[in-house]
Amino acid sequence: MKSKPSAKATLRSPTTRETEAIADAADRISKRRKRVQASIEGYDAGECRIGPKHSDGRGWSGQLTDAFGTTSEDFANVTLNQTLNALPLSEDSLSRMTNAVLATVDGTRPKDEIEAMLTSQMVVTHALAMDFMGRARRAEHVTQLDSCGGLAVKLLRTFTAQVEALAKLRRGGEQTVRVEHVHVHAGGQAVVGNVNQREAGGLNESSEQPHAAGQPRALTFTPGTPVRSAHPQRQPVPVASGKGKAPLPNARRRKG
43-93 per-position pLDDT tens digit:
776 678 899 999 999 999 999 999 999 999 999 999 999 999 999 888 888
> Are the C-beta atoms of 203 and 196 separated by less than 8 Å?
no
Run of H or E residues at 212:
none
Q: Helix H segments across the chain?
A: 16-31, 57-67, 73-85, 94-108, 113-137, 142-170
- The closest of 79, 88, 85 to 128, measured between CA atoms, is 88
CA distances from 63 to 40, 66, 71, 197 (A): 17, 5, 11, 63
pLDDT in tens, 10-46: 999 999 999 999 999 999 999 999 999 999 887 776 6
3-state class (DSSP) for residue 11 = coil
Radius of gyration, CA atoms only, the chain: 37
For the chain, the domains span: 34-170
Could you please report the per-residue DSSP string of 130-198?
HHHHHHHHT--SHHHHHHHHHHHHHHHHHHHHHHHHHHHHHTTT------------TT-----S----P
